[in-house]
Amino acid sequence: MGIGFGPEGNLLAQLLFFSITIYSTMNPLTIGIDYGTNSVRAIVVDTSNGRELGTAVVDYPSGKAGILLDPKEPHLARQHPGDYFDGLERSVRGALAQAAEQRPDFDVAAIVGIGVDTTGSSPLPVDQNNVPLALNPRWKHHLAAQCWLWKDHTSHSEAARITATAAKHRPQLIAKCGNTYSSEWFWSKIWRCLNVAPEIFEAAFSWVEFTDYIPSVLCGVGDPRQIVRGICCAGHKALYSDEWGGLPDEEFLSLLDPKLAALRPRLYERAHDASVPAGRLSEEWSQRLGLPVGIPVAIGEMDVHYGAIGSGVQEGTLVKVIGTSTCDCAVVAADKPVADIPGICGIVKGAILPGYYGIEAGQSAVGDIFKWWVEGICEGEGHLHRTLTQEAGALRPGQSGLLALDWNNGNRTILVDSRLTGLLLGQTLHTTRAEVYRALIEATAFGARAIIERIREYGVPIERVVCAGGIAEKNPLLTQLYADITGCTMFVAGSSQACALGAAVSAAVLAKVHVDFPAAQTAMVSLKPTFYAPRPECQAIYEELYALYCQLHDAFGGINRLADLSGVMKTLIKLRDRANSPGDTPSPT
């Protein structure tokens, strides 16, 4: 991996960085790298205004759309870390090439920093030299040696045991993450590896979150114990808090398995917010990427957290990053009290924005649900999404008589149960594929409303909602239905690459182009002029449908085990008949 400059850098690196930047005539530029579920994207950003000068996307070549699967285990989802290195080099060089095409005066010397976001929690096993086990020929085909992708839910039993053990012996550990530990997170996945692939667990010197790993590679860190870890994943996914001395104590981990306790010293002692750099770009990677050596590398954050920054998150603003899944992010000033919120993904001081508590919630599948229906069941391609969106937009609220639950990949918030599944209720012999498509969109909006109401219930202000991601930008029907169902006006992030932009914002702060994150956001972040306000005539009908959704949610989610659901179908029929009858009914959307 080469030798890095470390978190503080060294004199040579700083002199090189200074000499490079003073001779550039362009505004300072930063690079944001966004590792998504299926591809990696790099953008070159003007730090004075947030304009994107160049971008490039590289799909992961391994598996199915970049995901390694096991037909015998539907909950398994892994990625080959070799794809990350290839995608890193190709995406950055592609973005630089496009920037040079767009701007004849483009000068790579103007690039003053680089930031990275990734999916999470996506831990990978590494050896003592910080090399992924999957790159070792002995383990290259072993699924447990790969990166355990965020959407891997194989560790549901381990997550349940962590929850039960913590509730009995260390309730404070899970109080900030909604009192339920998830199968999507760090410890449950590592414990699962120990239980089903002990040979991989024993071969691994340490485990590193994907979001911490890529910055460490860029900085040339050759010892996993020297990686500068981010509070983002540590706090939200690994039960880290400075209040109890970092990661869970060895005594608690021994209650799970003594081998987890033995692993703890090979992980990390401290985690940091985004005001601390991951280090500086190593000579090896400056050559591979064509970037100035020694520029600061921002600390890694999960894609949705940097996406929140790139969407203008501030106190009172909820950012919804809508992609294959959805993550909801809010912040509250660190000098204010924040109540524990049952069922959410965490309340972590310093996560998302330095100086704030980061609050995270989300849905385990959104875009994946639409993809499943359109491409999997209907066997269509991209154009069918557009066709079904048009047809679904011609329907009135309640007209289909359908109601769905958005749990096709389990429930992340507020039930935190990966073993829940999707449900479609009310279909007849005349139900169309467009009606199902709309019902699935509505289901994800109902799930979004449940999250908003839970967060507000515990005193966190939500005065506006900003949506980010390609779905929010490209699908006005979805965004309007979200407004109608949640009762919130929906704004759309100005950048279609909000996650990568947030990483570039962080790099700009670390490079001292902007004095702090609010100043950088003011300069570099914007909203689109179009917004979506709730329509009262549609809200009234969706209030009735949401009440039915809550009945299904509480019954199948185990909250109300004595629920009487006998009236749900017939109420849906009444709503359908009313929507199809002449009179004052809402116009189609």
DSSP state of 249: P
DSSP state of 27: P
Q: Are residues 327 and 281 in the same domain?
A: no
From residue 402, how far is each of 169, 396, 399, 478, 487 by CA, in Å?
44, 12, 8, 17, 21
Residue type, 432: T
Domain containing 132 equals 11-302
pTM confidence score: 0.88
Q: Are residues 271 and 343 in the same domain?
A: no
pLDDT value of position 42: 98
Q: Are residues 285 and 328 in the same domain?
A: no
Q: Are residues 43 and 116 in the same domain?
A: yes
Indicate if the pLDDT at residue 229 is higher than 80. yes
Residue 271 belongs to a domain with what CATH number? 3.30.420.40
Of 267, 302, 337, at which residue does a domain stop? Answer: 302
From residue 381, how far is each of 58, 277, 506 by CA, in Å?
20, 42, 36
> Do residues 289 and 489 touch, judged by C-beta distance below 8 A?
no
5 is a domain residue: no
pLDDT value of position 5: 32
Which residue did the predictor score with more confidence, 18 or 267? Answer: 267
pLDDT value of position 344: 87
Residue type, 422: G
pLDDT value of position 12: 46
448 is a domain residue: yes
pLDDT in tens, 470-493: 898 889 999 999 999 999 999 999
Of 238, 267, 302, at which residue does a domain stop? Answer: 302
513 is a domain residue: no
Total domains present in the chain: 2
Give the rounded distance of the alpha carbon of 241 from its chain centre: 21
Percent of the chain with pLDDT over 90: 88
Q: Are residues 349 and 283 in the same domain?
A: no
Q: Are residues 207 and 340 in the same domain?
A: no
Q: Are residues 245 and 335 in the same domain?
A: no
Residue with tokens 């004075």: 48
193 is a domain residue: yes
Terminal-to-terminal C-alpha distance of the chain? 54
Q: Are residues 419 and 276 in the same domain?
A: no
Of 279, 302, 325, at which residue does a domain stop? Answer: 302
517 is a domain residue: no
Which residue did the predictor score with more confidence, 132 or 345? Answer: 132
214 is a domain residue: yes
Q: Are residues 268 and 399 in the same domain?
A: no
Give the rounded distance of the alpha carbon of 165 from its chain centre: 27
DSSP state of 248: P
Q: Are residues 214 and 351 in the same domain?
A: no
When pLDDT is averaged across residues 356-384 and rounded to a whole number, the result is 93
Q: What is the dihedral of CA 455, 75, 116, 519, to 10 degrees?
A: -10
558 is a domain residue: yes
Q: Are residues 239 and 363 in the same domain?
A: no
277 is a domain residue: yes
Q: Are residues 73 and 17 in the same domain?
A: yes
